[in-house]
Amino acid sequence: MKPVASAGSSVDSPPSNRVDDPLSIAHRGFAGTYPENTHAAMRAATGALGDAATTTADATTTAAQQAAVRQADGVEIDVVPCETGELVVFHDARLGRLTDAPGTAGTSGDQPIWETPFERLRELEVLNTGETVPLLAELLDTIPADVPVHVEFKRPGTAPARTYRELTDAKRERYDRGWEAFAERFVRLIDGFDHDVVCTSSFEGALRALAEYAPDLPAGYLLWDSIEHGLAVTDRYDCELVCPPRTAIAGTSFFNDAYDEIPAGAFADRDLLAIAHERGREVYAWTIDTPQQASELRAAGVDGLLCDYPGLLAGDAVAA
């Protein structure tokens, strides 16, 4: 992985245009093409060769084979504790969109992930593909050790995720304890793996807990609808990365467009990319769906692209 700039370091003259490609990060394992956050998605994105045993003699050949078919520079996954405490890889708050829970006896599609024991999750099928909800440790076993992993902390595991602005001081203290338990468990788990890991979140509670339990682990804030707030949070937790929606990048044809639930004009006329680079932080934009978006963001100077499809920078993307 390209070294992450040290937070707080100065950048004398950040380039206005890149001379190299930004890193392509497979968002949930290229969620537009493969069943998101599953073993199948990670194998496809990284060129992993499955569960076959590899001897010392053929390890070099295996690594070369993986690299030859690798479609991404890194992968992004979503992690949350389930009811029984295991760290699982799953994006949504509830089971309905991603699993066959609505049609499975004893499980509602409205059931929250944090109220579902892992034994029950294991019985559910992801997107009608035969894939199941994986444990984080299992998925890291599937992802080759030389592939960087961006881990998004989605929810603290005991309740819906909340921003600090939504919480009273008393509720925040209890809420923070959930993130602390999550972070402590996560740090212990990844200690057994060799991957370069970057942790990201939209929630200050997660970043605060990570700063306490893993201060040397690179972190990034997933900015939503305010550049001002996003940069303040990034500075507060000394994050190496800032991760804005693609519409927050000035100089692109889609700058300030409406996106998802973010209204048009949310980012005013402010150059987030220039400010972040001046502060020594890298910028990874989400979510990239077309070669045109990728091309414009490359020209603008972003450091990484969270992509739903492979090949967006090479012009050979799978059609949406």
What does the pLDDT look like over 64-120, one tens digit per residue?
A: 677 668 899 999 999 999 999 999 999 999 999 999 987 776 677 899 999 999 999
**pLDDT classification of 165: cutoffs 50, 70, 90:** confident
Kind plus residue range of the DSSP H or E element containing 285: strand 282-288
For residue 134, which of 145, 121, 146 has the smallest C-alpha distance?
A: 121
For residue 207, which of 174, 166, 240 has the smallest C-alpha distance?
A: 240
CATH, domain range 23-47+70-92+132-307: 3.20.20.190
Burial class (CB in 10 A: 0-12, 13-18, 19+), 232: exposed
**Quick check: 156 pLDDT over 80?**
yes
**pTM here?**
0.88
Name residue, tokens 């998925």: 139
Average pLDDT of 229-237? 96
As a whole-number percent, the residues of the chain with pLDDT over 70 amount to: 85
Q: What is the pLDDT of residue 49?
A: 67
